[in-house]
């Protein structure tokens, strides 16, 4: 049986791999989990012994098929819990990440099934991240491009928002920028600000590059196809 800490590491590797980091450097894992590099290295050795990761000397690690399956189960728990907390318990989307982190290791498979059934088997969580099915098949984690990469005049729809910073999520929620929001990029300023117009609200919002870089967007038709074809 794996410890909650081991599962945390596997999920962290999964998240970094989905962002294009493969192999994943131990220093990046340590940074994400707020531990020292030697601590992360020690854990990588344990996970390698259990054949959950493959290590490439001086480069980093990647999940084995078994390690990915474990990570997908933790991710499924996490994203279902985030959805349950927002839809059934009234949590704000900015609050649920840390709460789900605490709960994800401790729910039974029966509880997971009941939550999924209550929510009518959702395919995405409140931040737009895909929820793995109970078969734990790999999911399409393609996030599209970020808002700070858009050109002036481009019309896009928010697909996903990175959920690691609760203050940024609260700010975006107040501004009305959530998955499904249609935006027109009005200005990309050289001082590091992106100004967008919210189509339905007829309002403009200026975002620092650092925040715009956490918002993944697609063309309106791409977003519609993605939602209808999600599994």
Kindly report, residue by residue over 4-17, the tens digit of the pLDDT: 999 999 999 999 99
Highest CATH level, class, for 145-228:
mainly beta
pLDDT (tens digit per residue) in 165-187: 889 999 999 999 999 999 999 99
pLDDT (tens digit per residue) in 217-227: 999 976 544 44
Residue 32 — φ and ψ, nearest 5°?
Answer: -65, -35
Q: Are 116 and 134 in contact (CB under 8 A)?
A: yes
Confidence band (pLDDT; 50, 70, 90) for 202? confident
- With a cut of 90, say whether residue 140 has pLDDT above it: no
Tokens of 60: 């980093």
Domain extents in the chain: 4-63, 145-228
The pLDDT of residue 1: 86
Mean residue pLDDT of the chain comes to 92
**How far is Cα 23 from Cα 61, in angstroms, rounded to an integer?**
5
Contacts of 145 (CB under 8 A, 6+ apart): 216, 217, 218
Question: Per CATH, is 4-63 categorized as 1.20.1630.10?
Answer: no
- With a cut of 60, say whether residue 127 has pLDDT above it: yes
Percent of the chain with pLDDT over 70: 96
Tokens of 8: 């945390």
The pLDDT of residue 222: 60
């Amino acid at each position: 049986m794996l410890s909650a800490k081991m599962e945390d590491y596997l999920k962290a590797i999964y998240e970094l791999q989905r962002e294009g980091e493969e192999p994943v450097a131990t220093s990046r894992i340590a940074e994400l989990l707020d531990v020292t590099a030697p601590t992360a290295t020690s854990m990588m050795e344990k996970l390698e012994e259990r054949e959950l990761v493959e290590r490439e000397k001086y480069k980093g690690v990647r999940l084995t098929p078994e390690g990915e399956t474990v990570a997908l189960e933790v991710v499924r728990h996490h994203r279902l819990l985030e959805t349950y907390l927002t839809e059934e318990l009234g949590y704000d989307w900015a609050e649920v990440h840390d709460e789900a982190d605490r709960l994800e290791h401790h729910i039974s498979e029966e509880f997971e099934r009941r939550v999924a059934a209550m929510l009518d088997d959702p395919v995405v969580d409140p931040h737009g991240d895909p929820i793995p099915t109970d078969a734990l098949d790999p999911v399409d984690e393609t996030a599209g491009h970020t808002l700070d990469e858009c050109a002036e005049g481009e019309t896009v729809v928010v697909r996903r928002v990175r959920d690691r910073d609760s203050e940024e999520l609260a700010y975006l929620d107040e501004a009305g920028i959530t998955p499904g929001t249609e935006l027109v990029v009005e200005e990309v300023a050289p001082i590091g600000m992106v100004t967008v117009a919210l189509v339905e609200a007829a309002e403009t919002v200026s975002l620092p590059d650092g925040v715009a870089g956490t918002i993944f967007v697609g063309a309106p038709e791409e977003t519609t196809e993605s939602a209808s074809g999600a599994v």
